[in-house]
């Protein structure tokens, strides 16, 4: 499992620019917002957590189509399906490698974009913490979508269409917790715990659904 994690981590970083492409897309999405809403600093600070979360969500969807497609193209998917290790555990490790290579750099870049959106220190810390806790759920959900689209030659857009509606609850509680952190720690904990629960829930459901989809696609 460690070897699989390191292999997928290297492939994610090499393919298509890896984390750099996601971070650049993240920066681009957030950077164009002030040009659309105007130079109102109070407005930017108010909508900042939502904009950062939306930008991170869209950037996290970029590399999902490569989660299983590269293994299918080079023939590595068949040995993964036939090995003695449970397929669910294999998919879980692949999701963790994808999150480390794609989503973790977005979390690390979020404080810089928070400053760009004139957010307070407390709001920046809350956004970074909620992204760190909630972004794994996006990877687990994306695994199911990538497994469904793995048989398609160009399933990148389809993966985003399948995954995006299912990530809405993660977005809602992530943004709610970020806004609540400014008003007080008591109101922050409730949406934050819901966000943790969603991540744990999809950590179980996502690999299971992906394993079923991969099994069906190989038949």
pLDDT tens, position by position, 105-139: 889 988 988 888 888 888 899 999 999 999 999 99
CA–CA dist 62, 159 (Å, integer): 9
What separation in angstroms does the CA of 124 have from each of 6, 55, 88, 180? 31, 14, 35, 12
The angle that helices 104-116 and 41-60 make with each other, rounded to 10 degrees, is 160
Q: Rounded to whole angstroms, how far apart are CA atoms 118 and 25?
A: 20
> Alpha-carbon Rg of the chain, whole angstroms?
18
Q: How far is CA 164 from CA 117, 144, 145, 147, 159, in A?
A: 24, 12, 10, 15, 8
Least Cα distance to 131 among 219, 62, 57, 193 occurs for: 57
Domain ranges of the chain: 2-218
- Structure confidence at residue 185 (pLDDT): 58
Instruction: Report pLDDT for 152.
Output: 67
Distance spanning both ends of the chain, measured CA to CA: 25
Please tell me the predicted confidence (pLDDT) of residue 149.
78
Task: DSSP for 93-144, please give it.
Answer: HHHHHHIIIIIHHHHHHHHHHHHHTT--HHHHHHHHHHHHHHHHHHHHHHHH
**What is d(CA 160, CA 151) in angstroms, rounded to the nearest whole number?**
15
Q: Give me the tens of pLDDT residue by residue for the chain, a chain 219 residues long.
A: 888 888 877 877 776 555 678 888 888 888 888 788 777 788 888 888 899 999 999 888 887 777 777 777 677 777 777 777 788 898 898 889 888 888 888 899 889 888 888 888 888 999 999 999 999 999 999 888 888 877 665 556 777 788 888 999 999 999 999 988 887 656 888 899 999 999 999 999 999 988 888 888 765
DSSP string across 29-96: HHHTHHHHH-S-HHHHHHHHHHHHHHHHHHHHTTTTTHHHHHHHHHT-HHHHHHSSS-HHHHHHHHHH
Among 167, 142, 138, 162, CA closest to 67? 142
pTM here?
0.86
């Amino acid at each position: 499992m460690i070897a699989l994690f390191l292999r997928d981590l290297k492939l994610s970083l090499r393919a298509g620019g890896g984390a750099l492409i996601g971070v650049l897309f993240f920066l681009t999405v957030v950077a164009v917002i002030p040009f659309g809403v105007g130079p109102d600093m109070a407005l930017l600070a108010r909508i900042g957590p939502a904009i950062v979360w939306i930008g991170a969500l869209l950037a996290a969807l970029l590399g999902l189509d490569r989660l299983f497609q590269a293994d299918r193209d080079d023939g590595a998917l068949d040995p993964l399906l036939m090995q003695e290790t449970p397929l669910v555990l294999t998919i879980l490790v692949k999701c963790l490698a994808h999150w480390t290579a794609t989503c973790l750099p977005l979390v690390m870049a979020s404080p810089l974009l928070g400053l760009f959106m004139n957010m307070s220190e407390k709001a920046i810390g809350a956004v970074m913490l909620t992204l760190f806790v909630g972004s794994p759920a996006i990877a687990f959900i994306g695994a199911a979508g990538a497994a469904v689209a793995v048989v398609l030659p160009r399933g990148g857009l389809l993966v985003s269409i399948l995954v995006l509606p299912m990530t809405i609850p993660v977005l809602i509680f992530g943004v709610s917790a970020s806004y609540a952190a400014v008003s007080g720690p008591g109101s922050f904990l409730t949406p934050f715990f819901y966000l943790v629960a969603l991540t744990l829930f999809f950590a179980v459901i996502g690999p299971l659904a992906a394993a079923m989809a991969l099994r069906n696609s190989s038949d």
